Structure formats: structure tokens, C-alpha cells
Amino acid sequence: MRMLMIAVALLMTGCASAVYDSLDRRGVDSVDVLKERAGTLRAELRDAETSMIKAADALAAVDGLDGAALARRLDLARSEGQSAALAAQDMRLAADSMKAASERYFADKERELSLMKPDDAAYRASADRLAASGVAYRAFLTATDAASLRLSPALSLYDAEVVALRKAPTSGAAVAARASSRASTVTAAREAAQSLNAAGAEGDRFLAALN
């Protein structure tokens, strides 16, 4: 994990080539690096999905509450929202790390193909595997980017709703007055969780294509 975080930090500051030169010198195969990064992103997507579901459930549970019970539930909703925001950050960092690793992987595979004879059966098999992994990668990346785009407004809505409710943290009447906006916020959070789930499924398919 420590090596992963160091690599991510270097990548985020524009030092990707230095990272991968070091990996090459240590004999680390690009497919192994990509599998690790894709697996990490898959795990972060799962964590972000779980966090969004918990946040949605916590906010939905304020219905019908009043007094101290409402205040405690709002505290929980705020905490779950903060956890979801942190999970989203981790997911985006993992996505950036995987994108960088994919560049090395596909460059290596293209280089390997260029050294093979096109009329060799092994060439066609390798080309087919590379094409399949490319299709799966693009689907994974597209789904992850789509989930990230849906996640940002959902988190903003969630934070705004919790802030508004906490202005009168023991008022059941205030909760009732915001029923419509709260329902929209919960729906947005659940839809974001669904998009994260869809991205995770594409991640599973990409990892399978790499094996």
C-alpha cells in the first residue's frame, strides 16, 4: 500500500515516467501493475457505492423524527455524507492511478506485437487479447467517469440538504417542510450508488480480460 501511495503521488505531480522506469528496472511487469491498480479502483468503487447507500439511508431515516432523536439522526447523516465524500476522493485517485498504469501496459503490448510476425498464429492470438482488453478497459473507464460525474452533484445536494436541516436540528416540522427536496437528494444518492455499481461490474470484466 505504501508503494502504491508513493506511485500515485508521483503520478499526480507529473512524474509517471520516473515511476515506470523504476518499475521496469525492478522487472515489474506492466500487466501486474495494471491488475493491481484496476483491482484497487474496483475496491474503491465498491467502498464508494457502500458509502453512498449508507448516506442515503441515513438521510431518508430522518422522516417522522423530532427532538433529540432527530438531532442524533442528522449527526449520523452528516457523518455518512463526509465518509461518502472521502470515498469519492479515494475512488478518483485510484482512477487516475489506473489510467497512468494503462498507458504503460498498452504501450508494452503494442511493442510486443511489433516484434512478432503478422502471419504467426501467436500474433493473431496476442492481437485479439489486446483488442479485447482494450474494449474492456474503455468500457471500465467510461463507466467510472460517468459514475464520477454523477457522484459530484449528488454529494453537493446531500451536503446542502444536511446543512439546511441542521439549522433546526430538533424540528420535525422543518423536516416535513423539506420532504420534497430531501426525497430528491436521497434519489440522487441512490442513483450515484447504482452508477458506481455499474462501473464496478465493468471493472470485473476488465480484470477478467487481463487474466
Q: With a cut of 50, list the residues of the chain below it in pLDDT.
A: 1-6, 8-18, 20-27
Q: Alpha-carbon distance 33 to 120, whole Å?
A: 28
Name the phi and psi angles at 63, rounded to 5.
Answer: -55, 130
For residue 6, what pLDDT is reported? 41
b/e per residue 159-186 (b: at least 16 CB within 10 A): bebbeebeebbeebebbeeeeeebeebb
For residue 51, what pLDDT is reported? 99
For residue 45, what pLDDT is reported? 99
The pTM of this model reads 0.85
